[in-house]
C-alpha cells in the first residue's frame, strides 16, 4: 500500500479502529471524534485555563527528527512511523493507527537553529505488550510511565506559532499557580485530519513533577 502524505499540519491522517487496554480505551474523550481507539485519561480537575489529567502507563512507537522547522519534523517523522505501521516491520504486520499523534517540542526559544523533535504514535491495545520489531533503525519503542499532565486546548491547526503561543500561556499559568512541571519540553497533541475544517482540537501538554495540587476552588 502506498503511504499517503501525512502529518498534523497539512498531512492527511487516517484514523482507524482498535481495541482497549490500559492507556487505550473505547471510553473516548470528546475530542476523539475521528478514532475508536485513543489515549484515555482521568480528568483530575479543571481550571478556567487548563486541565489536569492522569494517564496510565502506555507504550508508544517513536522516532527523532532534527530540523529547523517543526512542521517539517512532523511530516518526516509521521511518514517514517506510518511506514512502520503499514508493514515495514519484522513481522510485516499492518497496525491500526490511534490518536493523538504526539510531537515532543523542545522548550528552547532560539530562532533558526536545529532542534530535536520526537514524534510518537500510541500502539494499539493488541500491541501494547508485544509490538513487532521495527526494521528501520530510526524507529524505537518507549514506555510512558503513569503520569499527570497539564493540558491547554486550542482549535485550528497544530503549527509552530500557535503551539508555542499556547505553551507559553500554559507555562505562565502554571507558574502563577505554583505548580511543578518539566520545563525542558512540551508536547503538541493532534487529533484531527486536515480534511476536518471545523471543530478542530489540538492540545499542548506539560508533564507534572509529582502529584499536582489542584486549586482548592476547583471541584
Residue 139 lies in a domain: yes
Residue 198 lies in a domain: yes
Residue 10 lies in a domain: no
Write down the pLDDT at residue 216: 62
Q: Could you tell me the pTM of the whole model?
A: 0.84
Write down the pLDDT at residue 71: 93
Asked if 177 and 152 count as a contact pair (C-beta separation under 8 A), the reply is no
Write down the pLDDT at residue 3: 41
Confidence check: pLDDT of 25 > 70: no
Give the rounded distance of the alpha carbon of 176 from its chain centre.
Answer: 25
pLDDT digits (tens, 9 = 90+) for 89-142: 999 999 998 999 999 999 876 677 899 999 999 999 999 999 999 999 999 999
Residue 219 lies in a domain: no
Asked if 191 and 201 count as a contact pair (C-beta separation under 8 A), the reply is yes
Taking the C-alpha atoms of residue 141 and residue 154, their distance in angstroms, rounded to an integer, is 29
Residue 27 CA neighbour count, 13 Å, CB half: 7
Confidence check: pLDDT of 170 > 70: yes
- The set of cell numbers assigned to 102 is 504526539
Write down the pLDDT at residue 42: 93
- Give the phi and the psi of residue 69 in degrees, each rounded to 5: -125, 125
Question: What's the total number of domains in the chain?
Answer: 1
- Domain housing 170: 24-207
Q: Is 134 or 194 the better-scoring residue by pLDDT? A: 134
pLDDT digits (tens, 9 = 90+) for 55-81: 999 999 999 999 999 999 999 999 999
Q: Is the Cα torsion angle 72, 57, 26, 155 positive or negative in sign? A: negative
CATH number of the domain bearing residue 101: 3.20.80.10
Q: Work out the pLDDT band at 15, boundaries 50, 70, 90.
A: very low
**CA angle 46–182–212, rounded 5-degree value:** 35
Residue 107 lies in a domain: yes
Residue 12 lies in a domain: no
Q: What is the mean pLDDT of the chain?
A: 85
- Give the phi and the psi of residue 211 in degrees, each rounded to 5: -75, 130
Residues 42-73 as b or e (16 or more Cβ within 10 Å = b): eebeeeeebbbbebbebbbbbbebebeebbeb
Mean pLDDT of 33-56: 91
Residue 213 lies in a domain: no
Mean pLDDT of 186-208: 88
Write down the pLDDT at residue 91: 97
| Residue recorded with cell 480528568 | 43
Residue 212 lies in a domain: no
Instruction: Report in angstroms the alpha-carbon separations of 202 from 103, 192, 217.
Output: 11, 8, 26
Confidence check: pLDDT of 10 > 70: no
Taking the C-alpha atoms of residue 56 and residue 123, their distance in angstroms, rounded to an integer, is 14
Amino acid at each position: 500500500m502506498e503511504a499517503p502524505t501525512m502529518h498534523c499540519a497539512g498531512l492527511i491522517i487516517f484514523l482507524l479502529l482498535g481495541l482497549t487496554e490500559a492507556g487505550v480505551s473505547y471510553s473516548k474523550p470528546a475530542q476523539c471524534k475521528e478514532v475508536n481507539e485513543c489515549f484515555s485519561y482521568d480528568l483530575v480537575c479543571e481550571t478556567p485555563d487548563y486541565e489536569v489529567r492522569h494517564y496510565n502507563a502506555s507504550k508508544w512507537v517513536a522516532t527523532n527528527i532534527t530540523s529547523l522547522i517543526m512542521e517539517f519534523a512532523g511530516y518526516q517523522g509521521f511518514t517514517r512511523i506510518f511506514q512502520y505501521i503499514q508493514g515495514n516491520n519484522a513481522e510485516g504486520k499492518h497496525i491500526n493507527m490511534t490518536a493523538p499523534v504526539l510531537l515532543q517540542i523542545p522548550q528552547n526559544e532560539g530562532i533558526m537553529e536545529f532542534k530535536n523533535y520526537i514524534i510518537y504514535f500510541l500502539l494499539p491495545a493488541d500491541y501494547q505488550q508485544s509490538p513487532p520489531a521495527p526494521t528501520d533503525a530510526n524507529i524505537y519503542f518507549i514506555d510512558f510511565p503513569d503520569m499527570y499532565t497539564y493540558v491547554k486546548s486550542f482549535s485550528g491547526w497544530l503549527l509552530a506559532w500557535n503551539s508555542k503561543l499556547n505553551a507559553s500561556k500554559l507555562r505562565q499559568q502554571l507558574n502563577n499557580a505554583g505548580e511543578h512541571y518539566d520545563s525542558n519540553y512540551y508536547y503538541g497533541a493532534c487529533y484531527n485530519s486536515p480534511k476536518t475544517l471545523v471543530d478542530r482540537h489540538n492540545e499542548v501538554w506539560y508533564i507534572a513533577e509529582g502529584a499536582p495540587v489542584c486549586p482548592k476552588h476547583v471541584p
